[in-house]
Structure 1
Amino acid sequence: MVGTFDKINATLNELVLQVFSGVDYVSKISLETSKSIPVVHRQLEELVKANILTRTRQGKRVTYGVNWSCIADVINSIVLLDISDVPGAKQLSKDQMVLATKEFLAHPHTQELMRAFFSSQKAKTGATGRAFKESMRQFLDVFGMLSQEERDRFAKKINASAEVRAFLEHCANQYVQRQRRDPRFVLVERIKNEL
């Protein structure tokens, strides 16, 4: 399934982000994307066939939703990266990560945060042309931007298990590692040392 997300072009990614942000039916997505209803319908069906989205019929109305299990696979492909550059960081096993990710995504508060994040991204930055994995990475970076105390309060709010707490810590460590590897961070550190 992870490979499926690698193949999502900017057009399909735009539809996925629409559904993530809470726009869940063809005519509204068509209006939001300025595409014809038949084109949007065909592309949404392609995403359903790829198991990325789900389809639900309520009378005549068909709505689309996120397949959270598939999204968990994408997140795992992102967060299972090595974090060896972060002193004291504990690498989670693949099995631990899979269980924690699915539990994290199953929580309604997490899903609401994702909807808000992608809705904000869509409205403010026009980020729909961005690769889906990059959008997910940015969402996970939010937990790296929180202080340890803030992550703990968030974990308490969602009644997170020890595994989910470790997952959030892992996301934070990955954020730190990406910063350390970013040439801008290296330059900032050099400038600070010269002052």
Structure 2
Amino acid sequence: MSNELFNIFSAIGIGLTFLASIAAVIVSIISLRYSNKVAKRSGYLGTITASRDKWSNSLRESSSLYFTQIARICSGQEDNLEEIYNELTRYHFAIVLLLFEQDEEIHNNMSVVRSKVFEIVDQSNIINQQYKKLKESPNATETYIESQEVVVKARQKMYDLRCSILNDYQGRIFNGIRNLLEREWRKQQYEATDMWKEK
């Protein structure tokens, strides 16, 4: 009887050990699958976040340089307007390359600003030509040249264009870019927090 009892307890012990081993294997498989899933999501999230950070930083940097050129042009500066226009154009297109189709309004407003800046450069060239033309005359003073109708009209047009850029377009472009960056920030927040809750 003691051998039978020993065999029964041994069989029960072996059965329980077998069940515990199977349970451990199942838990290990589940744990491994979950770890792989977490690692995959973590890698995806890291890649997406890095990409979005790079995009946001590029947009911020290009926008900052773009608005610096607008400030230079609208400050009344007369020197190097063509150079400033070229820099503005460069940053305009750097920003446009970062935009998407739904952001067409920003691009359109930036195009209007660029054409207005081109007109400012054109008016500045008219003034410079007037100076060159009248400086050849021995009696021409700066006050006399500035009082010429062509120069007065060109200066007024430059002033109007600068006011239009500052009052009508700069704020729209700034707000559009700010909204883009805010939208992107919200996407990053969602991916970093809510995305993990869903799955």
TM norm. shorter chain > 0.5: no
User: Smaller-chain TM-score range?
Assistant: under 0.3
Greater strand share, structure number? 1
Report the TM-score, using the length of structure 2 for normalisation: 0.26
Report the TM-score, using the length of structure 1 for normalisation: 0.26
Greater helix share, structure number? 2
